[in-house]
Structure 1
Amino acid sequence: MSEAETLLSVSGVETYYGKIVALRGVDLEVRRGEIVAMIGANGAGKSTLMMTICGSPQARRGRIVYDGTDITQMPTHEIMRLGIAQSPEGRRIFPRMTVMENLQMGAALIDPKYFEDNLKRVFDLFPRLKERLHQRGGTLSGGEQQMLAIGRALMSRPKLLLLDEPSLGLAPLVVKQIFDAIRELNENEGLTVFLVEQNAFHALKLAHRGYVMVNGNITMSGTGMELLKREEVRAAYLEGGRH
């Protein structure tokens, strides 16, 4: 795999909370134009990895390289300026701000000349947000808030979109809408996506490649389809293979 094809490389990364080890020598890569999924049980370390990539907390050991730049010890705001955007776990929109104000916050780091184009792109993807433009974020449904969190991330025109548990707590129909939107962004625009997800079935069906994390370690990797067929994945994450 050449440097040019690898957009994000994580090598031997260890992250701690105080003296507690959260990530134990994690190695993975995300190539340009891919959707890569990481699955694992709650508490496996998936969100910690996502936050470590974004610089908070910082890795104590190992190396994170994004688009040829070592970002391991960079502060979060500098990492975001390089073209990474995150839709965090729990959505974390600004509840007192309107939909429009939330989207403006997402666009804060980029040239204002792109604003209208970016807004159109978000509304094409999530027409519901256009209908709710002047509503406060806190009054939206869970699904609408997730759309807003992803839309806010897209307003910065990222090269790499990080999605942390995008289906959490959402109804199946809304989950399908969210995953369809992710697929559309990837297929139509070539956007590179790294998502961590408890919903293994949806995530692996969507992803080109996937990783399984258990207790801060990567225990398996392969194409999405390969992992879906693995007996241990089916038993642990797909309710005994009933999907």
Structure 2
Amino acid sequence: MSTAPLLDVRNVETFYGNIQALNGVNVSVSEGEIVALIGANGAGKSTLMMTIFGTPRASSGTISFAGTNITQLPTHEIARLRIAQSPEGRRIFPRMTVLENLQMGASLDKLKYFDEDVEKVFTLFPRLKERLTQRGGTLSGGEQQMLSIGRALMARPKLLLLDEPSLGLAPLIVKQIFDAIRELNRTEGLTVFLVEQNAFAALKLAHRGYVLVNGRVTMSGSGKELLADPEVRAAYLEGGRH
């Protein structure tokens, strides 16, 4: 792992109008790590993900990626630096086929590595190969989530931002998706920053984690440490295992 973090968020504050959503947030993700951000609904988890990606903008603080200050960069320039996002709610292109969605993900490189990369996605998510000519909007929720992650992977990211990948999915599908993330990290060294309400699954997967409460980071540690912490267990893990 590199000494300087790949992603470094320092004292970031974000507002929606007059409402402060993030309050002095500090998080870092080193190359080759899976880092989880857990917290209750409305804690600001998705806002942090979107702020890293440039919409909304941080009103103060800095966000650095691979040594470059990206705080004020437009979203399309952030994407060119090889940060890819699988957003909350999947946001695939519903009228496009599975194949067309994957092509959209690969457009940064003008489809240069398309054949090679699409095979990797099909190895991770064989279901997508079976659904290749189907429109995205007709897929099941689990298939749409696989497509959203697959589309992000087609951009050959150095950092993958995953926002609520398990939301609304059956436990078996959640396991498939988390297994795929673990495999990508193990075999390709993919760096992942994961926002997840399923704290148990996220902390089992992650090397490190942060707890966000009302826009502030209140706790951090290894995945194992946070899983064992009585406060974390009481707030996020009781009855929440999958």
1:241–1:46 Cα change, 3 Å: closer
- Scaled by the length of structure 1, the TM-score of the pair is 0.97
CA contact (8 A) 1:83 1:160 kept: yes
CA contact (8 A) 2:207 2:222 kept: yes
1:116 aligns with 2:110: no
Moved more, 36-45 or 103-112: 103-112
Give the number of equivalent residue pairs.
242
State, as a whole percentage, how many aligned pairs show the same letter. Answer: 77
Gaps of 5+ in 2: none
CA distance in 1, matches of 2:139, 2:110: 28
CA contact (8 A) 1:41 1:214 kept: yes
Secondary structure of residue in 1 paired with 2:108: coil
CA contact (8 A) 2:211 2:219 kept: yes
Moved more, 184-193 or 231-240: 231-240
RMSD: 1.3
Secondary structure of residue in 2 paired with 1:168: coil
CA distance in 2, matches of 1:157, 1:36: 19
Q: Deviations over 1:165-211 (max 9, x none)?
A: 00000000000000000000000000000000000000000000000
Secondary structure of residue in 2 paired with 1:112: coil
Aligned-pair CA distance for 1:6: 1.0
- Scaled by the length of structure 2, the TM-score of the pair is 0.97
Cross-structure match for 1:198: 197
CA distance in 2, matches of 1:94, 1:88: 13
CA distance in 2, matches of 1:242, 1:173: 13
Cross-structure match for 1:228: 227
CA contact (8 A) 2:198 2:240 kept: no
Gaps of 5+ in 1: none
Cross-structure match for 2:54: 55
Aligned-pair CA distance for 1:5: 3.9
Q: Deviations over 1:137-166 (max 9, x none)?
A: 011000000000000000000000000000
Cross-structure match for 2:72: 73
Cross-structure match for 1:21: 20
Cross-structure match for 1:87: 86
Moved over 2 A (4+): 240-243
Q: Deviations over 1:202-228 (max 9, x none)?
A: 000000000000000000000000000
Cross-structure match for 1:46: 45
1:189 aligns with 2:184: no
CA distance in 1, matches of 2:67, 2:228: 34
CA distance in 1, matches of 2:127, 2:222: 33
